Amino acid sequence: LARQITSPGWYRERELGRLCRDHVFHSPNFFLPPSVDRGVITIHDLSVFKFPETHPAARHAQYDREFKRSLESAQHLIAVSEAIRVEIIEHFSWPADRVTAIPHGVSPDFAPWPDHALTPVLAAYRLRPRTYALCVSTLEPRKNIDRLLQAYQDLPAALRGQYRLVLAGSAGWLSKSLQLAIKNAEREGWLLYLGYVPD
C-alpha cells in the first residue's frame, strides 16, 4: 500500500494496466483510466453534451479529453434509465445492443412512512406530514431548481403557504444566483432550505 501511495502516477497507471490485462474494467462514472484497454462505463446523463451552459468550462475540457478516449476503450455502456439509453444511442451513434439500461438500486429505507413515524423527525424542521413539497438535489444549473422556484412563486400565495417548498442538498457549481433566489424565497416564508441532509 505504501508503495502505491508514494509511487509516481505513471507507475500507478502501468500497474493498473497490468492488473487489468485480460479483465474488463467497470467505471461507475463516465471515465476509464488511460491504461485500461477494455471496459464498461456507466453513464448517468448527457447534460454536459446537451446543455453545456449548465456546466463549468473545466468540465467541458475534461469530457472532450477523457470521455471520448474512454469510449474508444469501452466494450459496453450502461445507462441508468431507458431514456438515457436512447439518448446515448442517438447522440454517440452507438449500437443498441451495446447499451443496457440498469436503473439505480434503491434502499428499502426510502419508502412511504406512516405519519406517526414522520412527525418527530419533521418537527425538528418545523414541518408536519403532508404539508410540504420536497426536492432533494444538488444546487446547480442542470437541475433546473431556478424553474422550480419560479413555478412555486407563480402559485397562489395561499397554496404556497399551505404547502411549503423544502429543498435539501448541497450547493454545487454555478449556484450563486440560485442561492440568492433561495434566500429571497425563505424571507417570503414559502421555502425552507435545509442544505445537506444525511439519509
Cα 161 to Cα 158: distance, rounded to the nearest angstrom: 5
What are the CA-CA distances from residue 191 to residues 77, 116, 147 (Å)?
39, 24, 14
DSSP code per residue over 93-157: T--GGGEEE-PPP--TTSS---HHHHHHHHHTTT--TTSEEEEE--BSGGG-HHHHHHHHHTS-H
Distance of alpha carbon 187 from alpha carbon 96, whole angstroms: 50
Per-residue pLDDT of 53-77, as tens digits, reads 888 888 888 888 888 888 888 999 9
For residue 79, pLDDT beyond 90: yes
What is the rounded CA–CA span in Å between residue 98 and residue 76? 5
| pTM, entire model | 0.67
Does position 18 have pLDDT exceeding 50, yes or no? yes
